[in-house]
Amino acid sequence: MLRIEALEKRYKTGDHALKGVSFAIEPGQVVGLIGPSGAGKSSLIRCINRLVEPTGGKILLGEIDIASMNRGELRQVRRRIGMIFQEYALVERLTVMENVLSGRLGYVPFWRSFTRRFPQADVDKAFALLDRVGLSDHVDKRADALSGGQRQRVGIARALEQDPELLLIDEPTASLDPKTSRQIMRLICEICAERNLPAIINIHDVNLAQMFVDRIIGLRAGEVVFDGKPDALTNDVLTRIYGDEDWNAMRKTADEDAADAANVAAFEAAREQRMAEVPA
Amino acid sequence: MPVTQTETGKIWQRRTTREQWLGWLGWIVLVALFMYCWDVMNRGTMWSFVSDAPRQAADLLNRSWPPRWSYMERLWIPLWDTINIATLGTLLGIIVAVPVAFLAARNTTPSAVIVRPIALFVIVASRSINSLIWALLLVTILGPGLLAGILAIALRSIGFIGKLLYEAIEEIDETQVEAVRATGAGSMQVMDYAIVPQVLPAFAGISVFRWDINIRESTILGLVGAGGIGAQLQSSLNTLAWSQITVIFALILVTVVVSEWVSAKVRHAII
């Protein structure tokens, strides 16, 4: 499906972000990319749709090499790759619907997008996706009127509106609270399973990654140092990826976080019930 | 270094000793310059004229009062012209300034080596010349009248709107642009969906602000024959009709206050 061969990225500043990264992804496989800050996770994910230009190696989507495409071909292939961002990267002053429809920009001519007259099929799809991510009531709101979790749902709908063959997801939960993080990760993984859609998820929360993904790739200083099942991620492996740390203590805190989140959820549910019981 | 190690511990100062001395030197130079300028001013002033200034001012006020309100009926058409000069000039300025701003902004320019310097030069050239000077030039070329005034206002507005707008374009959030580009959108679509929504409030604010400034500037363009209420001001000054000048000043004041109120309302509505 996606095969990356000896991918290199050296920035003009001299930073050698990726040193010959190679791996392949099967259809429907959700891969978590973990590693310390500066390991090259963001560079790797951005090289795949060439928001960052790779300096060497191949990126094969199916049979075609993305790394050697010209601008026109690149636009064509970008339509097939959906991307979800850390800070949502919605266009704040456009409505939720416009943000989702912007996923079709690669398919419609300029005048249609300029006059906001998208084909009815695209609009139908946008409504269906907003319904799927649970935002049917917010179609006409401006993106900056939504909460963090809602914005990320719009981001997911925008990526899916493209009908992608691959999802690139850059730190989807870094700006969210623990409970919303889990909900968003669950939503992403459910959708990938429904559509047999492969995804690469950059994620710094190791526990969250282990909870949801099929496979984990550990990156350190621009090199792959681990590639395997989430269960194989032992303390030794984590030390190889991140360096020394008391991993058991970290796991314990994470469990407490999860317990907190569960408590919060229970509290909110109880409150909603109380509110419902109050006679109007 | 601002941190010095002593026996009792580390001492932190905002500046090094050298920087402190340089600071004092700067102040001395500034004071010396002030004294020199004071001296030049004294030499160039005829104090006998200044000494009877209060009497002159009182005399002028005396002749200006009461205002000749009947003169108003001859001011409505020039006032209408003035507002038209400002509005049409601003519109024309906007039409030229918007593309220039996109060519000048570092993140939207098609070529940072050739196109950007040209766009920046257009902006600087337009900004470096006052509307009144533009009007003076245009009246010699086009002859007196409204057209010269409109073009003068437009030429000056290009630089103002262009500069503020290109700075606003350079300050946008690039991740929104990245996100739209990642969907496979073309460059015009990226501009329409990611850049324009981000700069629209700034653009509206800048345009209305410039219109407000242009109302004020177009009231004096008539002094050089470029139409509007300034022509009436000129002829009243020539005939020393001070009571008419009072009426003109009052009218300009009211117009400017109204235009400020309108622009504040519009900006508030958009942002």
Residues A139, A274 within the same domain: no
For A34, residues 6+ apart whose C-beta sits below 8 A from its C-beta are: A41, A203, A204, A206, A209, A216, A217, A218, A219, A241
Are residues A256 and A202 located together in one domain of the fold? no
Any B CB within 8 A of A76 CB: yes
CB A216 within 8 A of CB A182: no
pLDDT band of A118, cuts 50, 70, 90: very high
Looking at chain B, the number of H-run helices and the number of E-run strands are 12, 2
Q: A206 and A273 share a domain? A: no
User: Would you say the C-alpha torsion B31, B36, B42, B44 has a positive or negative sign?
Assistant: negative
**Bridge partner list, A24:** A3
- Considering only CB atoms, which chain B residues are within 8 Å of A90? 176, 179
The answer to whether residues A30 and A96 belong to one domain is yes
pLDDT given at position B177: 93
Closest residue of A to B191, CA-based? A114
Q: Given this model, what pLDDT does residue B32 score?
A: 96
Cβ of B178 within 8 Å of Cβ of A113? The answer is no
Q: What is the mean pLDDT of residues A257-273?
A: 73
Tell me which residue in B183, B193, B194 faces A79 most closely, judged by beta carbons: B183
- State residue A278's pLDDT score: 61
Sign of CA dihedral B122, B128, B131, B133: negative
Residues of chain B with pLDDT under 50: none
Tell me: do A191 and A254 sit in the same domain.
no
Burial label, A24 (beta-carbon count in 10 A; 0-12, 13-18, 19+): exposed
Question: pLDDT by residue (tens digit) across A174-194?
Answer: 888 888 889 899 999 999 999
Q: Let me know whether A160 and A220 are in one domain.
A: yes
Q: Which residues of B touch A103 (CB under 8 A)?
A: 183
Give residue B51's pLDDT.
Answer: 83
Higher pLDDT among residues A121 and A239, named by residue: A121
Check whether A280 has a pLDDT greater than 60. Answer: no
Tell me the chain B residues in contact with residue A102 when contact means C-beta distances shorter than 8 Å: 180, 183, 185, 193
Report the residue of chain A nearest B185, measured CA to CA: A106
Q: Do B193 and A98 touch (CB under 8 A)?
A: yes
| Residue of chain A whose alpha carbon sits nearest to that of B179 | A89
Whether residues A250 and A240 share a domain: the answer is no
Put simply, whether A171 touches B (Cβ < 8 Å) is: no
How close A15 comes to chain B (CA, Å)?
21
CATH of the domain at A181: 3.40.50.300
Average pLDDT score over chain A: 87
Compute the distance between CA of residue A78 and CA of residue A106 in angstroms, rounded to an integer.
Answer: 8
A112 vs B: CB within 8 A: no
Q: Does B179 touch chain A (CB under 8 A)?
A: yes
- Give the pLDDT band (50/70/90) at residue A211: confident
CA dist., res. B92 & res. B97, Å (int)? 9
Q: Which residues contact B144 (CB under 8 A, 6 or more apart)?
A: B225, B226, B227
Structural domain count of chain A: 2
Residues A202-224 have a mean pLDDT of 89
The DSSP result for A155-219, as a single string, is HHHHHHHT--SEEEEE-TTTTS-HHHHHHHHHHHHHHHHHHT--EEEE-S-HHHHHHH-SEEEEE
Same domain (yes/no): A264, A188? no
Type and span of the H or E element at A246 = none
> Can you tell me the distance from the alpha carbon of A222 to that of B241, in angstroms, rounded to the nearest whole number?
82
Q: Which domain holds residue A28?
A: 2-244
**Residues of B in Cβ contact (< 8 Å) with A48:** none
Q: Give the pLDDT of residue B239.
A: 85
Q: Does A42 touch chain B (CB under 8 A)?
A: no
A109, pLDDT greater than 80: yes
Beta pairing partners, A82: A167
Residues A155 and A251 in one domain: no
| Alpha carbons B200 and B94: distance in angstroms, whole number | 13
Query: Which pLDDT value is given to residue A160?
Result: 93
Whether residues A265 and A175 share a domain: the answer is no
A151 and A137 in one domain? yes
Tell me the two tokens of residue A104: 């079709």
Residue of A90, A83, A129 whose CA lies nearest to A106: A83
A273 and A230 within one domain: no
A-contacting residues of B 194-223, CB under 8 Å? 194, 197-198, 200-201
The dihedral of CA B126, B128, B133, B137: what is its sign?
negative
As to burial, measured by CB atoms within 10 angstroms (0-12 exposed, 13-18 middle, 19+ buried), residue A105 is: buried
What average pLDDT score do residues A120-139 get? Answer: 91
Which pLDDT tens digit goes with each residue over A36-78? 888 888 899 999 989 999 998 889 988 889 888 888 889 999 9
The 10s digit of each residue's pLDDT in B44-86 is 788 777 888 888 888 888 888 887 787 778 888 888 888 999 9
**ipTM confidence score:** 0.83
The confidence score (pLDDT) of residue B25 equals: 96
The residue ranking higher by pLDDT, A4 or A273, is A4
